[in-house]
């Protein structure tokens, strides 16, 4: 392991000159133990906030383990992954932390996505990932919260700094009483103050998760629809959807938009639904709202399909982006129509574009079709868990998904993909 770790650090030094790989973001994430979810399977969730708003899904089979994940659209070779899973049921993601290395003079590399890529390529368990962290040369010049699950029931979060890490086990009730660990852009093992961010977001998510666990509604659909796109604010005690849903359509209504779970910088939202111990890792599912989540529809993917997953998620060379991300970014302009002012364009949204009394808001239209995707996909997954995954059947279903998503954007927004 020492030699492998040394190679990774050497690669870091070389790659510092490639500025496009650097990730400066404000993500919100969670690791969820299968002990507390509705169906007994672990989950990883990430709302990805970044300057790199053009995203795609990529599949790789040129390493020890085949894997797939969320990648910047302009990262043509897929050198960095920001959330993903591999063929063993191992999955990993991260959020940046800004309170672990305060005052340290070592330069932050920003290559957390490279670590995720390496882990997906080579590891199958939480323990293997932890062993790798133990052997990494110091300073790592990495700073972040890394959530990991595996096909054996493992679920943990690692707060990684320059000289070590703290592990939080989601299966340990003394660490995670309700089976989940949430992080925004600070680490519990670091200092607390204005050098870090996301306290309000984390508190909002905690409130939502607790209610879901207590009512046995803690599943993928809840996270993707009620959390990643939720517009509740725990400090202000408001819900923008409820507050403005009675206003008729075509009545531009502006409201302040800051410290909600989704942000203007949110580039994608993903939940990886793992497998139970003893279950085939073929059943692990990556549910992705690629592109600005408030205007993107959730599409599931499986490693068993290899490169035959829906092409709306893959790079289209003509637009240099994935079609679904491109469509979501076009609709995002209707949600953030203000073009002037450093803060006005960022912190004020037209809520009427998302939700209204006539149910013609972007979010309302997308959710109606998204409900169909969840219903049909869950039925299909249920079949596959019983009889095994049939490649031909999966290919046919992926074709349906692809056509359905394209038709949804055409019918609802007159957008051709």
Strand (E) positions, 227-370? Answer: 232-233, 238-239, 254-256, 266-273, 285-290, 299-301, 348-350
79-90: per-residue pLDDT in tens?
999 999 999 999
Is residue 8's pLDDT more than 70? Answer: no
CATH architecture assignment, domain 2-15+23-413 = 4-Layer Sandwich (3.60)
Q: Which residue in this structure is represented by tokens 């679920």?
A: 155
Neighbours of 168 (CB within 10 A): 20
The larger pLDDT score, comparing residue 11 to residue 417, is at 417
Residue identified by tokens 């302040």 is 256
pLDDT band at 25; cut points 50, 70, 90: low
Q: Tell me what pLDDT residue 13 has.
A: 34
Across residues 196-214, what is the average pLDDT? 94
Cα gap 1→178, rounded to integer Å: 34
Mean pLDDT value of segment 132-139? 96
Q: Taking 70 as the threshold, does the pLDDT of residue 367 lie above it?
A: yes
Q: State the pLDDT at residue 27.
A: 94
Task: Give me the chain's average pLDDT, please.
Answer: 93
Structure tokens at 229: 């796109």
What predicted TM-score, i.e. pTM, was given to this entire model?
0.93
Alpha carbon 378 to its chain's center? 20
User: Largest Cα–Cα distance of the chain, in whole Å?
Assistant: 63
> What does the pLDDT look like over 163-200, one tens digit per residue?
999 999 999 999 999 999 999 998 999 888 777 788 99
What's the token pair of residue 122? 């080579």
């Amino acid at each position: 392991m020492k030699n492998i770790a040394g190679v990774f650090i050497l690669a870091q030094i070389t790659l510092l000159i490639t500025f496009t790989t650097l990730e400066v973001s404000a993500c919100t994430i969670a690791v969820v133990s299968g002990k507390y979810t509705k169906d007994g399977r672990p989950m990883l969730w990430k709302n990805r906030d970044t300057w790199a708003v053009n995203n795609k899904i990529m599949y790789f089979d040129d390493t020890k383990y085949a894997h797939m994940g969320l990648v910047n659209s302009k990262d043509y070779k897929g050198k960095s992954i920001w959330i993903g899973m591999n063929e063993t049921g191992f999955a990993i993601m991260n959020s940046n932390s800004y309170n672990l290395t305060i005052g340290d003079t070592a330069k932050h590399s920003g290559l957390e996505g490279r670590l995720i890529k390496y882990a997906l390529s080579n590891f199958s368990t939480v323990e293997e990932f932890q062993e790798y962290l133990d052997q990494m040369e110091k300073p790592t010049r990495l700073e972040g919260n890394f959530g990991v699950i595996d096909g054996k029931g493992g679920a943990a979060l690692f707060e990684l700094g320059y000289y070590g890490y703290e592990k939080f086990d989601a299966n340990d009730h003394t660490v995670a009483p309700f089976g989940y660990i949430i992080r925004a852009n600070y680490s519990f093992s670091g200092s607390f103050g204005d050098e870090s961010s996301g306290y309000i977001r984390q508190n909002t998510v905690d409130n939502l998760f607790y209610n879901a666990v207590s009512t046995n509604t803690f599943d993928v659909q809840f996270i993707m629809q009620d959390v990643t796109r939720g517009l509740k604010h725990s400090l202000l005690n408001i819900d923008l959807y409820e507050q403005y849903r009675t206003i008729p359509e075509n009545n531009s209504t502006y409201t302040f938009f800051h410290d909600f779970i989704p942000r203007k910088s949110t580039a994608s939202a993903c939940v990886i639904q793992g497998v139970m111990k003893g279950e085939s890792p073929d059943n692990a599912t990556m549910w992705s709202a690629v592109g600005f989540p408030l205007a993107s529809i959730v599409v599931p993917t499986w490693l068993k399909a290899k490169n035959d997953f829906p092409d709306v998620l893959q790079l289209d060379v003509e637009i240099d982006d994935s079609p679904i991300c491109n469509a979501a970014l076009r609709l995002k302009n209707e949600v953030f129509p203000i073009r002037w002012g450093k803060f006005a364009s960022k912190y004020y949204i037209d809520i009427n574009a998302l939700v209204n009394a006539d149910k013609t808001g972007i979010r309302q239209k997308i959710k109606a079709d998204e409900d169909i995707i969840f219903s049909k996909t869950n039925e299909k997954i249920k079949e596959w868990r019983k009889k095994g995954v049939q490649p031909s059947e999966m290919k046919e279903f992926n074709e349906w998904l692809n056509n359905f998503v394209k038709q949804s954007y055409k019918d609802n927004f007159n957008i051709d993909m």
